Amino acid sequence: MQGLTQITTLSLTLFSTPLWADVHHVAPGQSIQAAVDAAADGDEIVLDSGLYVETVEVMLKNISIRGAGSDSTVWEPASGAMLESTFSNLVVEGIAFEHGTGASTAGSTRGGALFIQSSTIEVYDCSFYNNRSAGGGAVYLSNADAVVSGCRFDENYLTTGNTGGTTIFSNYATLDVYDSTFEENGWGGSGFAYGTVQVNNGYLYAANCYFNHNQSSATGFGLVNSSGVAGHCTFVDSVFHGNLIYDSSFKLLDSVFLSDQEAPVENANRIFDTGSVEVAGCVLPTESEVLESTSTMPGALNVVRWAPSFEVVNGYLVPQIDTAIATIAGSADNLYSPSSIVAPITDLHGELRDTPRSIGAIETTGAPAPSCPTDVDHNNRTDYMDLIAVLTQWGVADEPRSEDFNQDGFVDLNDLTTVLSNWGPCS
């Protein structure tokens, strides 16, 4: 799990397990609710492989619920949602949530699978399939900070209403989404959503997310009275009807829009309709409507191209790197903010990214070596600015750095000598 880092202290503080914590094993056919009721703070509930059919309520608990993996532990609801949490701190891991219809609240339904309010939750390596409700097709968060990492969302949708979020709806909270895939969501429903992932009155941080063929009133990200940063995301054949960034600020970095269809998807080139959006280091569809209410940050580079060439890597579309795309790769590194937010050094599949990185959720395999690796600031020459970049990063490189040209874990005299030996225009 490596993304726009804003979240690590959450798991180290709220969800640390004391040495005296108990583990409650629940087999299929046994009651998860009974294990939850018996659990004390810090306890862990472990679900075996198999099918569980139950609706569980958690109140004033600090616990973990772990399955044997989303390919073997399946949780369906007795009715409504599978898991409802109030005033609790939860970790949920390795479970497939399927066919939820949402918790009943205020004459409507919310959170097809998970209904979380006045709580915190971390969700790791889970899948959400065919869940639905009137708000938050799979997950509904209200005053509930959340981390979602390594998850899949498939064929979730809204049944009615205008609350929004065909997969996730978050209100008055911080939502971090990393290394996750969203495919075929929003089809067949009638509810209105500003985004496949929608955040109201809060903050969104996302990295290494792959969106494929999703449909909503505004597919992708939707923000209202919010702010956020998304980096290294891939959007494939999603139907865009003007992603709404209303009274909000948002940065989209190092991302790409791809299509494997001969004909353009309807309105696929309309990325954002309104709001303050800054775009950098991205491959965008066409000039038409792309920059409507959108600005390119000073010093940032983008490539405008309707159909960049792509290859298929493990079933995912990945842009092929050419000279133009290689030029923008890494050009937005200094634009991630606040200072605690950095670009991911691994991709959606946990693979270490190349140096310099590619764009999108998945690092391109076999990308051509840069013609001028010492051109750190991508101005097509090795000069004093690259020298300054090496001196600025001098010392131990605790993560891959473009200034560590020989990747020996140190930015040192060897790298300084490499700059000097390549001085001048890139060939």
pLDDT at 370: 47
> Domain extents for the chain?
8-369, 371-427
* pLDDT tens, residue order, the chain (427 aa): 445 444 333 333 344 445 578 999 999 999 999 999 999 999 999 999 999 999 999 999 999 999 999 999 999 999 999 999 999 999 999 999 999 999 999 889 999 999 999 999 999 999 999 999 999 999 999 999 999 999 999 999 999 877 778 899 999 999 999 999 999 988 877 766 667 898 999 999 999 999 988 876 654 566 666 788 999 999 887 655 445 566 677 888 998 888 765 544 455 444 555 557 778 888 876 544 444 445 556 666 788 776 678 888 888 888 888 778 888 877 888 788 766 677 888 999 988 887 777 899 998 754 444 457 787 766 667 887 888 888 988 988 766 567 877 767 788 998 888 888 888 877 6
Q: Which CATH architecture has domain 371-427?
A: Orthogonal Bundle (1.10)
Query: Across the strands, what pairs with 120?
Result: 89, 145
> Under the phi-then-psi rule, with left for phi > 0, alpha for psi from -120 to 50, and beta for the rest, what region is 325?
alpha
Q: Does domain 8-369 have CATH number 2.160.20?
A: yes
Q: Counting beta carbons within 10 angstroms of the beta carbon of residue 393, is it exposed (0 to 12), middle (13 to 18) or buried (19 or more)?
A: middle
Tokens 């049944």: give the residue.
Answer: 159
Q: pLDDT value at position 369?
A: 43
Compute the distance between CA of residue 384 and CA of residue 86 in angstroms, rounded to an integer: 56
CB hemisphere CA count around 21 (13 angstroms): 16
Q: Which two tokens stand for residue 184?
A: 């075929």
* Contact assessment for residue 3 and residue 178, using Cβ atoms and an 8 Å cutoff: yes
Scanning 85-221, the segments in alpha helix (DSSP H) are: none
Which of these, 400, 299, 297, 310, lies nearest to 359 by C-alpha position? 310
pLDDT score, position 378: 63
- Can you read off the two tokens belonging to residue 317? 């579309």
> What predicted TM-score, i.e. pTM, was given to this entire model?
0.79
Helix, strand, coil share (%) of the chain residues, nearest 5: 10, 35, 55
Q: Which residues contact 90 (CB under 8 A, 6 or more apart)?
A: 58, 61, 63, 64, 65, 116, 119, 120, 121, 122
Predicted pLDDT of residue 25: 98
Residue tagged 């959720």 (tokens): 361
Contact by Cβ (8 Å): 417, 385: no
